[in-house]
Structure 1
Amino acid sequence: MTAPTCVWDLKATLGEGPIWHGDAVWFVDIKGHRVHRYAPATGETSSWDAPDQVTFVAPRVGGGFVAGLKSGLHHFTPEMGFTFISEIEDAGLDNRPNDSTVDALGRLWFGTMHDGEEADSGALYRLEADGSLTLHDAGICITNGPAVSPDGKTFYHTDTLGKVIWAFDIGAEGSLSNKREFFRLAIEDAWPDGSVVDAEGFVWTALWGGRGAIRISPEGQIVQRVELPAINVTKPCFGGPDLKTLYFTTARKGLSDEQLAAAPLCGGLFALPVDVAGQPQYEVRLDLR
């Protein structure tokens, strides 16, 4: 396997949430309050300011993106910016959304987390087409890595500080049951961050503090580890015409001047060719009135 390449050295404070949509990688800088787009065919880069912390963007059937901000869910388009849709939780919790995924039926799954990374106030939600939210899991400080298996039967959800990835069975109507431990990270000074599942059902998980990512079998065993020249790797996504390029977002948040001097590409966007393709990026089914 070739080494990952930094394709955009943008030095994001907290790069997160990459997705492949419209022949480009879309991602966010949560603490930088920006949405970014990178088009690999041309190398073109674009950025848009957000009104507050923007944590994910997910393409929507009918156009634009559903965006998670600390203030709630928004509809985002590059032309019109951000339009408020609804609140997520009581502002008194001091929570914000974090990671997200869209399943093959167009349902958006996302977690919330305590913005100060102290209280176990985070939860996992599913967004319905009518805009309502269904609560599925709770009591987590930093939620991460929602992802779905290719057959649509297994859902993965990460407790970053607990260093565990949970698996659930998905019911026909989107219910989650049979919560069980899928994987527990035993690497010192590293925490499981965002995840994505490839076409063979293997889970790729970014390692915050771990300078790379791991590929985990459906049985919960590490089968591959890749290293990046960045300390805090936040999330992978599959892109390219054949979905055989892994893109990784990274972060500079929490690193000392000495660490940044030794790893100056922290906060960049990286690309890595892989042998096994990913799943398509599905679009959110959400009625906007």
Structure 2
Amino acid sequence: MTGAEPLDRDPAEVVPVAAEGIVDDERTRVIAWSEVTALPARSARRIPSVGARLPESAERVGDAVAWVDIEAGTVQRIDAQGRLDVLAQGMDAPSMVRAIGDDLIVASRPGVQRWEGVQRRHGGRGATVHTSFTPAPEDGQHGPHVRFNDGRLAPDGALWAGTCDEADPEMRGSLWRRGADRWAEVVSGMLCSNGVDWTADGSMLVIDSLRRRMLVGAPDASGCPAAWRVGVRFELGDAIPDGLTVLADGRIAVAVWGGRAAIVLSADGTPVERIDVPCDRVTSSAEAPWGLVLTGAATGEEDGGLFVVDGWTAALS
């Protein structure tokens, strides 16, 4: 599936890289929790109208923000006035929602769908155009416990998405790219493939959560990530890097599961700011005209939900 131009080479030509073979080099930035706690901080507040179990994949949709709830099986959005719109419910592990024009791309366990014209109307889901795309089922990795995780549309229009095996304690999976008519495995053996985004120079960033690191894929001549390295290694105790977003000013926001925070990095991976969130399991973020919106998952002791840093856009101007 593509949202813009098709890929300029057949995804079948891609030779998968093993994640365990991607190693630190002299450019790898190591971030310790003590460094994070010393950063200047801003605070997010809870949006009271929103409850959630396992929300992920926050995405700006016009002036609103959409997200999925993997455990609740829903796709929702909220606008600046706090109006909540349930776009879908009863889905099987929806894990990603991304905007493309007036449409939304939504991934769930069965595959990927394109919902047409969702942004033009309020209170209803668009028509399903694509369904049941599964990542390379012939390799034996796609089974009842494997699902998509986070992903994003690349600048060239290709869809990138990670998978994870919920029955595996390491949530082992791969990073995949969807071209014109097929999936290609790009990085194998990811331990919970998570947040994906691109920098201004075309480098791809992806979180390898349970290895606690951010990978960087430098583009080759065709623009596809090729030369992989470890950009950042997170030494955050029990906390784990989760969703990732490249912000409008080029900085990088990394949600921290188990850290009650998101970390803002400069483009070179230096931590520059901490966002304190009143939720232990922070999962993703998205910039909206009315603030930086973050998602957080529920625990046995606290509810999940949506959180916002007011005045964030003004601070970037």
Q: Which has the larger radius of gyration?
A: 2
1:110 counterpart = 2:147: no
> Which residue in the other structure is 1:286 paired with?
none
Which of 297, 305, 313 is matched with 1:251 structurally?
A: 297
> Which residue in the other structure is 1:283 paired with?
none
The Cα of 1:101 is off from its aligned counterpart by: 1.8
Change (3 A) 1:217 1:79: closer
1:89-146 residue CA offsets vs partner (Å, 9 max, x unmatched)? 4332731111112233322221111123525641111222x23222211101311111
Opposite residue 169 of structure 2, the aligned amino acid is E
SS in structure 2 at match of 1:32: coil
Counting only pairs closer than 5 Å after superposition, residues 38-49 of structure 1 correspond to structure 2 as 38-40=78-80, 42-47=81-86, 48-49=88-89
Distance in 2 of aligned mates of 1:97 and 1:205: 19
Q: For the Cα contact (< 8 Å) 1:18–1:237, is it kept in 2?
A: yes
Moved over 6 A (4+): none
Distance in 2 of aligned mates of 1:229 and 1:165: 24
Q: For the Cα contact (< 8 Å) 1:183–1:220, is it kept in 2?
A: yes
> Which residue in the other structure is 1:161 paired with?
210
Which of 95, 105, 111 is matched with 1:66 structurally?
A: 105
The Cα of 1:230 is off from its aligned counterpart by: 0.4
The Cα of 1:58 is off from its aligned counterpart by: 1.6
Change (3 A) 1:199 1:43: closer
Which of 109, 124, 146 is matched with 2:175 structurally?
A: 124
Which of 69, 75, 87 is matched with 2:134 structurally?
A: 87
> Which residue in the other structure is 1:136 paired with?
186
> Which residue in the other structure is 1:271 paired with?
308
Which of 35, 41, 44 is matched with 1:4 structurally?
A: 44
Length-normalised TM-score, structure 2? 0.76
> Which residue in the other structure is 2:23 paired with?
none
Opposite residue 110 of structure 1, the aligned amino acid is A
The Cα of 1:217 is off from its aligned counterpart by: 2.0
Opposite residue 136 of structure 1, the aligned amino acid is V
Structure 2: runs of 5 or more not aligned: 1-40, 117-123
Q: For the Cα contact (< 8 Å) 1:73–1:88, is it kept in 2?
A: no
Change (3 A) 1:188 1:46: same
The Cα of 1:3 is off from its aligned counterpart by: 2.5
Opposite residue 46 of structure 1, the aligned amino acid is D
Which of 3, 9, 14 is matched with 2:54 structurally?
A: 14
Is 111-120 or 132-141 further displaced after alignment? 111-120
Q: For the Cα contact (< 8 Å) 1:100–1:111, is it kept in 2?
A: yes
Which of 238, 260, 263 is matched with 1:211 structurally?
A: 260
Distance in 2 of aligned mates of 1:197 and 1:142: 20
1:33 counterpart = 2:83: no
Structure 1: runs of 5 or more not aligned: 261-265, 278-289
Q: For the Cα contact (< 8 Å) 1:5–1:270, is it kept in 2?
A: yes
The Cα of 1:37 is off from its aligned counterpart by: 0.8
Q: For the Cα contact (< 8 Å) 1:251–1:267, is it kept in 2?
A: yes
Opposite residue 217 of structure 1, the aligned amino acid is S
Which of 167, 173, 190 is matched with 2:222 structurally?
A: 173
Opposite residue 132 of structure 1, the aligned amino acid is R
1:210-230 residue CA offsets vs partner (Å, 9 max, x unmatched)? 001001123222111111110
Distance in 2 of aligned mates of 1:190 and 1:229: 15
Distance in 1 of aligned mates of 2:48 and 2:57: 15
1:201 counterpart = 2:262: no
Distance in 2 of aligned mates of 1:68 and 1:46: 18
Distance in 1 of aligned mates of 2:251 and 2:168: 29
The Cα of 1:194 is off from its aligned counterpart by: 0.3
Distance in 1 of aligned mates of 2:77 and 2:135: 26
Distance in 1 of aligned mates of 2:164 and 2:68: 17
Change (3 A) 1:119 1:186: closer
Is 221-230 or 80-89 further displaced after alignment? 80-89
SS in structure 2 at match of 1:86: coil
